[in-house]
Amino acid sequence: MSQETDPTVREVNFDGLVGPTHNYSGLAHGNVASMTHEGLVANPREAALQGLGKMKSLMDAGYAQGVLPPQQRPDLGALRALGFTGSDARVLSRAAEEAPQVLRAVCSASSMWTANAGTVTPSLDAPDRRVQFTPANLQSSFHRYLEPATTGRVLAAIFRDERYFAHHPVLPSTPAFSDEGAANHTRLCGDHGEAGVHLYVYGRQAFGGDGVEPRRFPARQTLEASQAVARQHGLEEAQTVFAQQHPDAIDAGVFHNDVIAVGNGPVLLYHEMAFRDEQGTLDALRARMATPLIPVRVPAEAVSLDDAVASYLFNSQLLSNPDGTMTLVVPGECQEREAVWRCLQDHLLAGNNPIAEVVVKDVKQSMRNGGGPACLRLRVALSGEERAAVAGRVLLDDALHGELVAWVERHYRDRLAPADLADPQLAHETLTALDELTRILKLGSVYPFQL
Ligand code: SUG
């Protein structure tokens, strides 16, 4: 690929706004937090405000911040497709009675974790010089399989200028092409405006392979899916590395690579159990990168896999500062584990690497469902021209932040238990709120009830 650089490129973090039906339904097998917090009473208002609080503080610190809207839930269309008929209230009450697990799934606010919305390749790396998008099929669970259609519409509404943005179809929704998006994709480079190398981490190989896979929990990303996304985006072999996640890590609750590794620029912060072939992965990256890779390895003796999963140390946002240093945005849970906090101070901050600051953010409502700071954001590196071509009102500023906070305070409940999901009033409240939101964000019609 060309060696050209673009100094106007900035990484924009598009955070998912938490939806009004945020709840703890224990839907995600293999995600320890979701499994252990099933049935807790959630606070959707607090969840959304925590998310907006993170967005605002990163914006105030000078990072480019965007926002993506939540999806229409309950997904009444999905219930109707499954044979429930009659009025909306009747559909909901029958689902609650006959298929409570299905009702829980169609109410999930899981689109908040936009690291799973899709995979994005910056224009600099793509042969047609446009930013490339593929929504993730999320076919490994029913509640998340419901997301890609609306995700595709939202991304196409925001990144609608065809001169700058290219949208690819969702991969076939079948286990062989199981795709969970950017949570398993890391772009390594010098500055964000320099050509990058794409690290795709997969849990299993669908066709062929040697059968070394997790035994306890599902592997959500296949090699074949990652290869297909790279192909759609026009990436060449010299730009890509495909690495298998360590099966023992998946079995310990590492359901995505972003629960055990995070990269930014030339830095790859990872736990020693992140990759099945650690050395091979680093060697392959080094062979392709134009800038020296800066691996920051955390050994199991410093932070156990269990501590990594419980604290979400690696589900941090690693952000570039103008002076060349980096800031690590960690969830509050990292402070509660002594080994993790010590590692942050003694190993990461004091170590010979660009990480110069640790910022702690409280996203507890999301964390209880297994979503840390990095899950809540989709990274889109954009040039100055591309940022100017972004449609809608989704790049955060003080005015938009203020309107969104007021919108949440007007519409969201402060307690929601799984048993409340059948309440037809909740469905009504949600649609009213979302209709208003599309006007605030100037997105046009993106929800099924608006089409
Ligand atoms: O897919 N949790 C999500 C969390 C996704 C986190 N994303 C990243 N690591 N990038 C999941 O497991 C739980 C929903 C519930 O149980 O109600 C859930 O879907």
Residue 430 has pLDDT above 50, yes or no: yes
Task: Write the pLDDT tens digit of every residue in 335-388.
Answer: 999 999 999 999 999 999 999 999 999 999 999 999 999 999 999 999 999 999
Q: Given this model, what pLDDT does residue 42 score?
A: 98
Order of strands across the sheet that contains 197-202: 185-188, 197-202, 240-244
Residue 2 has pLDDT above 60, yes or no: no
Closest CA to 49 of 294, 339, 429, 408: 408
Q: What pTM, to 2 d.p., does this model score?
A: 0.98
Distance CA 207, CA 224 (A): 8
The amino acid that residue 240 corresponds to is T
Q: Which residues are marked as active site?
A: 180, 256, 375
The amino acid that residue 303 corresponds to is V
- Give the rounded distance of the alpha carbon of 36 from its chain centre: 21
- Give the rounded distance of the alpha carbon of 50 from its chain centre: 16
- Annotate 25-67 with DSSP letters as a single string: ----TT-HHHHHTTTPPB-HHHHHHHHHHHHHHHHHTT-EEEE
Q: Whose CA is nearest to atom 7 of ligand 1?
A: 375
Evaluate: CB of 144 within 6 angstroms of ligand 1: yes
86: left (phi over 0), alpha (psi -120 to 50) or beta: left
Q: How remote is the CA of residue 28 from the centroid of ligand 1, in Å?
A: 6
Q: Given this model, what pLDDT does residue 1 score?
A: 45
Distance CA 249, CA 229 (A): 24
Give residue 104's pLDDT band: very low, low, confident or very high (50, 70, 90).
Answer: very high
For residue 35, which atom of ligand 1 is closest to its CA?
16
Q: Whose CA is nearest to atom 1 of ligand 1?
A: 28
- Rg of the chain over Cα atoms, rounded to whole angstroms, equals 21
Q: Whose CA is nearest to atom 18 of ligand 1?
A: 28
Q: What residues contact residue 181 under an 8 Å CB cut-off, 6+ apart?
A: 115, 116, 117, 118, 119, 134, 135, 136, 138, 378
Evaluate: CB of 204 within 6 angstroms of ligand 1: no
- Burial class for 127, CB neighbours closer than 10 Å (0-12, 13-18, 19+): exposed
Homologous superfamily, domain 10-450: Succinylarginine dihydrolase (3.75.10.20)
DSSP assigned state of 373:
T
DSSP assigned state of 326:
E
Q: Whose CA is nearest to atom 17 of ligand 1?
A: 25
Evaluate: CB of 146 within 6 angstroms of ligand 1: no
Three-class SS of residue 377? strand
Evaluate: CB of 183 within 6 angstroms of ligand 1: yes
The amino acid that residue 75 corresponds to is D
Q: How remote is the CA of residue 110 from the centroid of ligand 1, in Å?
A: 6
Residue 238 has pLDDT above 90, yes or no: yes
Q: How remote is the CA of residue 413 from the centroid of ligand 1, in Å?
A: 21
Phi and psi of 359, rounded to 5°? -115, 130
Quick check: bond before 74 cis, omega within 30? yes
Is residue 358 within 8 A of residue 347, CB to CB? The reply is no
Q: How remote is the CA of residue 145 from the centroid of ligand 1, in Å?
A: 12
Task: Write the pLDDT tens digit of every residue in 127-172.
Answer: 999 999 999 999 999 999 999 999 999 999 999 999 999 999 999 9
Distance CA 78, CA 108 (A): 12
The amino acid that residue 200 corresponds to is Y
CA angle 134, 136, 137 (to 5 degrees): 125
Closest CA to 266 of 343, 191, 374, 349: 191
Q: Given this model, what pLDDT does residue 4 score?
A: 77
- Which residues are documented as binding site for substrate? 25-34, 116, 143-144, 220, 258, 369
Q: What is the widest separation between alpha-carbon atoms in the chain?
A: 64
Q: Which helix (H) or strand (E) holds 385?
A: helix 384-388
Q: Given this model, what pLDDT does residue 3 score?
A: 57
Segment 180-201 shows an average pLDDT of 98
Percent of the chain at pLDDT exceeding 90: 99
Residue 328 has pLDDT above 50, yes or no: yes
Mean pLDDT of the residues in the chain: 97
Distance CA 317, CA 264 (A): 9
> Token digits for 449?
């009830």
Task: Write the pLDDT tens digit of every residue in 48-62.
Answer: 999 999 999 999 999
Q: Given this model, what pLDDT does residue 128 score?
A: 98
Q: Given this model, what pLDDT does residue 167 score?
A: 99
Segment 219-246 shows an average pLDDT of 98
Closest CA to 50 of 22, 11, 10: 22
